[in-house]
Amino acid sequence: MVWGIVCARVHTHTHTHTRTHTHTHTHTHHVCAASYYALLEVCSRTNDVERGEDIIDRMHTDEVEPDEFTEAAVASKRTLRSYLRKVFA
């Protein structure tokens, strides 16, 4: 798991009201490129390569293309920079 707040994409819960009603609500939380940028920046600064690679994998799965900010976030960490290029080649 990346981090709780960012990972939540779809959350479904059911409420049962009185004797005859059941309601199901689905909430979708979209993760934007800026969220990935922030997470990758922290991973790069703290040398957390394993988590950084997980985040890059999640970006790919979620079809979030890296941009210049994502590249800047991993610029100082060669392992993450190389992994990002490999995944999105």
Question: 2-37: per-residue pLDDT in tens?
Answer: 444 344 444 444 555 555 656 565 555 567 888 999
- Please tell me the total count of domains within the chain: 1
Give the pLDDT score at 33.
82
Higher pLDDT, 42 or 26: 42
Nearest to 44 by CA among 83, 85, 74, 87: 74
Give the pLDDT score at 9.
43
Q: Does some domain include residue 3? A: no
Range of the domain at 87: 30-89
* Average of per-residue pLDDT across 41-61: 95
Q: How far apart are CA 42 and CA 53, in angstroms?
A: 12
**What are residue 21's DSSP bridge partners?**
17
Q: Does some domain include residue 19? A: no
Dihedral (CA of 69, 70, 73, 75) sign: negative
Q: How far apart are CA 15 and CA 60, in angstroms?
A: 34
Query: What pTM was computed for the model?
Result: 0.67
Q: Does some domain include residue 8? A: no
